Chains A and B, each alone.
Chain A
Amino acid sequence: MTTTPAELPVPIVSARGIRKAFGPVEVLHGVDFDVRPGEVHVLAGENGAGKSTLIKILSGVYGDFSGELRVGGRPRRFGRPADAARAGIATIHQELSLVPSMTVADNLFLGRETTGRFGRVDFARQTAEAARILADAGLECSPRQLAGDLPISSQQMLEIARALARDASLVILDEPTSALSDRETETLFARILALRAQGRGIVYITHRMEEIYRLADRITVLRDGRLVGTATPDRLPPAELVRWMVGRELGRAEARRDVRASGPPALEVTALRVAHASVPGRLVVEDVSFAVARGEILGLAGLQGSGTSETLHAIFGALGRRASGRARLDGERFPMRGARDSIARGVVLLTNDRKALGLAPELSVIDSVSLASLARFSGAGGWVRRAEERAAVAGLTAAFRLNAPSLDAPVGALSGGNQQKTYLARCLLAKPRVLLLDEPTRGIDVGAKADIYELMRAWVAEGIAIVLITSEMDELLALSDRILVLHRGRPAAELARDAASKDAVLAAAMGHTATGTAGGRP
């Protein structure tokens, strides 16, 4: 921003005034962004700031946007990801796109097989070439191994190696280190720096402060779909970066509760650890301890991959042997043994994935709401006392202001907000002592959100303890009595209500503490 365009080489990619709308909702409001040869350009912003949307425009996923996109100085508009790839833009998404049942070499050459006469694949040449690519990437595996047999971190590295093998002039990396070990991260960084030295451009998205300051030549910050600014790291120290990300208005969110927590803890968790699902020896939650009192809302904050969801699942007992640690519920040992046992003892989990883990769309509202409480509504032989069940569900759905054609309608026919209310009603009907809520207002409209906030306040007034995860900062600050912030699976800060602010939470979540950046800078 400080140098004049005249002395600069032509950017590899240059975007001007990019706007993108989904239906009537505009999510990018005229963003400028460019990447020069031989630079690592970090793209930063909170969840929902528009980073992914911008990346998807650059990589050809979205073709319908307004504004100008130039690649190598020429205006371009990609219709398909394959067009962007052909123009020299390689994108490594967070989700893996390998075919697990094919070999490493086959994956590396998928879609651009080396062929001889009559389209016969030249396997010998491919295997030799693959071995060279793997050596370059520092991957110790055979080209003949099945991709699915590799640990997740190696699969991630393979994915990166595949993109780099295509001789791209621009490489886009979306949180590439979230599944990598420290050693692999170092290998990856070395590759990135080597690419930079070759004059290629790199777009790097991360939530980790130490990575930003280690790699970035320039940093661009987005907030709410708008460009906040672009700066070099020496002009944008961590505290300032956080301020760019959360916005200048540091005022507290409105409508706070007056009730303060008091009394003995309802749930105490000590030294909770959760192993990574597929990388042996790696922990996604490490030594997390906290207590939440009756009538208290404890906010659990953290960026993607910080282990907040895993913490709640582990307490609920849904992770089995991956989790270890101790817990006490109202002073008695709580075994974290599994959903059935936890619900019976009064600990209920609302997951952040209503579709996959919450609701069965074909079930009626009544069946969905009563599913976790059927033991209470059925006698010997399992005969359901339907009148009693219907009355209880009707009472609760009325309190939730549920908008459904009837209690017998399938939940799949309801709007997202009403489905979410149905899911919450199921948790509440189970008479919880402790509610573990993972993104209770995800993907629902403002009206339904307001209803849910009101309900949560009513529940804590009745003495229920709530542990709340939400990626919406305003919601977190407005509802929480205390906030525990996790960074890479470890507690980074515990903020009392009065000390909590957007930038304090975000700084801790990114690993930046008062004394410096956690993890350190080289």
Chain B
Amino acid sequence: MTRGWRAALGEWWATPVARALVALALMLLIGCVFNADGAFFKWSVHRDMLRQVSVYGILACGMTVVIITAGIDLSVSSILALAAVSFAWLTLPEGWPAALAIPAVLVIGTALGSVSGVLAARMRIQPFIVTLAMMVFARGLAKVVSGGMKITNYVQEPDGTSHLVPMPRIFGMIDSRVLGGNVSIVTVIFLLCVLATWIILSRLRLGRHLYAVGGNEEAARLSGVPVARTLVMAYALSGLFAAIAGICQAAQETQGDPETGMGYELDAIAMVVIGGTTLAGGKGSVVLTLIGVLTIGYLQKILSLNAAPEATRLMLTGTIIVCAVLFQRGR
């Protein structure tokens, strides 16, 4: 009886989810030790951590899908900025209602992602190069849309006059909290993105195709999987999630900043990889990514609670990424 129990535990321990959870538990343990005079035991600290990682986490959802196909998407941070700028521009100076502006922004993000996908899948350019180009291009496009400046509710007319427009309600809504102020709306959006990604990856035919293409592209093709279409879908989804993240970012910053989100793509990749999804493709899951997001989120929170200087914070984060990946591989 006990033997069966032990064997089951041994098997569970070998799964990536178990390893990712253990890494997260270790991180929480560190938080309990370095609790900054009990601050770590307050829900508000956890709530704020969740709010802070949500935008990264939304990017990481799309990144998970792309990495499972053995690809990479470096353009998510720039698409995020373009989405933030576009959303601010449509709702503030242009005065579009949110019900129109949100779908329009999502279409922009999906379209740019699809372009990357077509270039990678049909033109056979390496995903790293394609999305590097898209990263530069989308950042430029964000500057074109914003005229190189932050878009706020202080609107300048072409005739030189300027005036304040009231902040649309959607900004405040996205940046508010629910459940008695205990959970931020952006966190809810992040969790919904995780759920959507989970459904795509583990319940839809598309998900099977994504894993198959990442695991062995030629085998997938010979099994009748539409490889190019599957890859385009992966990058389109990544673009869509980046646009969602951009809307959240604009709402949190109450403006559209063309410089926003610089370097976020690297955080998103780190979160996916710490969870245990490998860059080689063909395996991984969004549940792992969720755990990876929380692990990095807690690391940052613990370091800031203990007022670690930025230099220490950066070096520790780098070290812990390598340790986590080695731990995931099972030494």
Contact = CB atoms under 8 A, between A and B. Distances in A.
- Note whether A and B form a binding pair: yes
B204 A358 contact: no
Contact of B215 (A340, A363, A375): A363
Contact of A372 (B204, B205, B218, B223): B223
A381 interface: yes
A430 B209 CA distance: 16
A360 B208 CA distance: 12
Contacts of A68: none
B166 interface: no
A362 to B, nearest CB: 4
B219 A372 contact: no
Contact of A360 (B204, B226, B282): B282
B205 A360 contact: no
A357 B219 contact: yes
Contact of A384 (B208, B214, B216, B282): B208
A281 interface: no
A372 B224 contact: yes
Interface string B51-68: 000000000000000000
A64 B74 CA distance: 50
Interface in A405-437: 410, 426, 430
A362 B283 CA distance: 6
A349 B282 CA distance: 22
Contacts, number: 79
Most buried by B among A342, A358, A426: A358
A291 interface: no
A367 B211 contact: yes
A47 B219 CA distance: 26
B282 A351 contact: no
B216 A359 contact: yes
Interface string A359-377: 1111100010011101100
B219 A358 contact: yes
A390 to B, nearest CB: 13
Most buried by B among A371, A375, A378, A382: A371
A362 B223 contact: no
B204 A384 contact: yes
Given A339-B224, A357-B219, A360-B220, A374 B211 contact: no
B212 interface: yes
A339 B212 contact: no
B223 A339 contact: yes
A430 B222 CA distance: 12
A264 B223 CA distance: 28
A378 B225 CA distance: 14
Interface string A379-421: 0011110100000000000000000000000100000000000
Contacts of B163: none
B124 interface: no
Interface of A is mostly: helix
Most buried by B among A356, A362, A384, A426: A362
A362 B204 contact: no
A462 B223 CA distance: 23
Contact of B208 (A318, A351, A359, A371): A371
A512 to B, nearest CB: 35
Contact of B223 (A356, A361, A371): A371
Contacts of A362: 211, 215, 282-283
Interface in B195-239: 203-206, 208-209, 211-212, 214-216, 218-226
A381 B204 CA distance: 8
A382 B222 contact: no
Contact of B222 (A344, A357, A363, A410): A357
B205 A384 contact: yes
Contacts of B205: 374-375, 378, 382-384
B30 to A, nearest CB: 32
Interface residues of A, number: 32
A343 B224 contact: yes
Contacts of B221: 318, 339
B168 to A, nearest CB: 33
B329 to A, nearest CB: 14
Interface string A459-478: 00000000000000000000
Nearest to B211: A363
A367 B136 CA distance: 38
Most buried by B among A360, A381, A383: A360
Contacts of B215: 360-363
Contacts of B283: 362, 410
A371 B226 contact: no
A342 B222 CA distance: 10
Most buried by B among A343, A357, A374: A374
Nearest to A361: B215
A357 B212 CA distance: 12
A235 B8 CA distance: 68
B211 A383 contact: no
Contacts of B204: 378, 381-384
Nearest to A386: B203
A371 B218 contact: no
Contacts of A372: 223-224
A417 B214 CA distance: 24
A181 B208 CA distance: 44
Nearest to A318: B222
A371 B212 contact: yes
Most buried by A among B208, B219, B222, B226: B222
Contacts of A358: 216, 219, 222
B19 to A, nearest CB: 16
A68 B215 CA distance: 46
A363 B223 contact: no
A351 B222 contact: yes
Interface in A329-355: 339-340, 342-344, 349, 351
Contacts of B218: 356-357
A344 B224 contact: yes
B222 A339 contact: yes
Nearest to A364: B211
A360 B203 contact: no
A318 B222 CA distance: 7
B211 A340 contact: no
A407 to B, nearest CB: 14
Nearest to B206: A382
A485 B218 CA distance: 28
A430 B225 CA distance: 13
A487 to B, nearest CB: 27
A363 B202 CA distance: 12
Contacts of A344: 224
A296 to B, nearest CB: 24
Interface in A123-168: none
Given A382-B204, A383-B204, A340 B226 contact: yes
14 contacts: A340-B225, A349-B222, A351-B222, A357-B219, A357-B222, A359-B219, A360-B216, A363-B212, A367-B212, A374-B209, A384-B203, A384-B204, A410-B283, A430-B224
Interface of B: 203-206, 208-209, 211-212, 214-216, 218-226, 282-283
- Please provide the 7 A-B residue pairs with the shortest distance between their CB atoms, ordered closest to farther: A360-B215, A382-B205, A360-B216, A362-B283, A343-B224, A362-B282, A340-B224
Given A361-B215, A362-B211, 17 more contacts: A318-B221, A318-B222, A339-B221, A339-B222, A349-B222, A356-B216, A357-B222, A359-B216, A360-B211, A362-B282, A362-B283, A367-B212, A371-B208, A374-B205, A374-B208, A378-B204, A383-B203
Interface of A: 316, 318, 339-340, 342-344, 349, 351, 356-363, 367, 370-372, 374-375, 378, 381-384, 386, 410, 426, 430
